[in-house]
């Protein structure tokens, strides 16, 4: 069964502090992992996907198959990073996504 776990419902950090949003997954094959973000009053949108290996808005995420994790990191948080973040997994059919429960990131000034 495919499962995505985001252990933190809320992560609160000060501006300028490092951020790490945790994501662990359960999948027997080779998954594709994504991070989606929803800013206040905006629609859910893709932030990044592991196959592209790029940094978006200063965020990066590395797929660790040994630890079955795909944690999202940013070295210095900004107030505009405050949002709901969802980790998601796509299995072999490449279409359906399984989402985690989400983590609210709150960056305080």
Partner 1 sequence: DVKVTQSSRYLVKRTGEKVFLECVQDMDHENMFWYRQDPGLGLRLIYFSYDVKMKEKGDIPEGYSVSREKKERFSLILESASTNQTSMYLCASQFGGRQQYFGPGTRLTVT
Indicate the SS3 state at residue 13: strand
Q: Which one of residues 7, 101, 106, 108 is an interface residue with partner 1 (CB under 8 A)?
A: 101
Q: For partner 1, which stretch binds (CB under 8 A), given 11-19, 22-30, 60-68, 84-92?
A: 84-92
Q: Which one of residues 9, 28, 40, 66 is an interface residue with partner 1 (CB under 8 A)?
A: 9
C-alpha atoms less than 13 angstroms from C-alpha of 22 in its C-beta half-sphere: 10
Nearest to 64 by CA among 52, 50, 76, 74: 50
- Whole-angstrom distance, CA of residue 6 vs CA of residue 52: 22
**Residue with tokens 């995420």, as numbered in its chain:** 61
90 binds partner 1 (CB under 8 A): yes
CB of 47 to partner 1, least distance (A): 10
Q: Which one of residues 29, 30, 43, 66 is an interface residue with partner 1 (CB under 8 A)?
A: 43
CB of 78 to partner 1, least distance (A): 23
Q: Which one of residues 34, 35, 59, 70 is an interface residue with partner 1 (CB under 8 A)?
A: 34
31 binds partner 1 (CB under 8 A): no
Nearest to 20 by CA among 57, 70, 74: 74
């Amino acid at each position: 069964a495919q499962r995505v776990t985001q252990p933190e419902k809320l992560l609160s950090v000060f501006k300028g502090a490092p951020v790490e949003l945790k994501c662990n997954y359960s999948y027997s094959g080779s998954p594709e992992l994504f991070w989606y973000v929803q800013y206040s009053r905006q629609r859910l949108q893709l932030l990044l996907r592991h196959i592209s290996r790029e940094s978006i808005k200063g965020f990066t995420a590395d797929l660790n198959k040994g630890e079955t994790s795909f944690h999202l990191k940013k070295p210095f948080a900004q107030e505009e990073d405050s949002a709901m973040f969802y980790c998601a997994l796509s299995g072999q059919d490449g279409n359906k996504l399984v989402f985690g429960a989400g983590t609210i990131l709150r960056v305080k000034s």
